[in-house]
Amino acid sequence: MKVIVITGASAGIGAELARQLGAKGHRLVLAARRENELQQVAQKSGGPAVPVVCDVTRRHDINNLKSIAIDSFGQVDVWINNAGRGINRKVMDLSDADLDEMMTVNVKSALYGMQAIIPHFQERGEGHLINVSSFLARVPRVTNRSAYSAAKAALNVLTANLRMDLQATHPGIHVSLVMPGVVVTEFGKNALGGMPTTIPSGRPSNAQTVDDVARSIIDLIEHPQPEIFTNPSLADISRRYYQDIAAFEAGKHNRGA
């Protein structure tokens, strides 16, 4: 069984990952800011789980998380940078504070995780880093998510460059990117600026549950690859976007997407 660290574990995808991975007998280290919710997730995981109150925007907290994981279980096999936050602002409405917040929560937090755990993986000669991004980092389908999408695009690039750096020297270390689409969680309600008024109520037809996404990530842990879309249809949409960006954005190749 693996030792798996999950950030953003108090709710949503992170909490469901903890439930499913715990049921499989993996040893978990769960990180989030909300202590009560985190304790509940740890108790319900069904396996050995260490909850760690952690602010992922603080490098010290991330380094402490790594130390607690190693002290608790002797090693880390998988590190999942799952914590993140959205915002509802179009490009022309963004403030400096808006952009700084998105980059700090969605990019710098993951960078801290990468820089904390990769040396441990290098010492062991193996390990698996997973960064949870978004389909919106590839295709601008929701313009009010502009800064969130930009931050996740930056995370995509950092992930790819780290993978390239490690391929030649440490082939036993896997670096993966996960790109969910619409997922039924409280993420939208917790976004800065609240829920956008332009988005209709109800569940979108292509929305996934946290169970769907968690199962995709668990399959990735068991069968590592560079990147996945948790909804396979999104891979085709992404290809169509880059094949003819102008036509896609004009709506000519965007029907049924």
- Residues known to be catalytic: 148
Instruction: Sort residue 8 into left (φ over 0), alpha (ψ -120 to 50) or beta.
Output: left
Rounded CA-CA distance 252/250 in Å is: 6
- Nearest residue to 133 (alpha-carbon basis) of 245, 5, 8, 3: 8
Q: Are strands 127-132 and 49-53 parallel, antiparallel or unpaired?
A: unpaired
The full DSSP string for 79-126 is EEE-----B-B-GGG--HHHHHHHHIIIIIHHHHHHHHHHHHHHHHT-
- Nearest residue to 98 (alpha-carbon basis) of 86, 82, 109: 86
Torsion sign, CA atoms 55, 61, 66, 69: negative
| Contact call for residues 123 and 165 (beta carbons, < 8 A) | no
The helix-helix angle for 35-44 and 12-23 (nearest 10°) equals 30
Both tokens assigned to 149: 């999408």
- Residue 38 CB coordination number (10 Å): 24
* Type of residue found at 40: Q
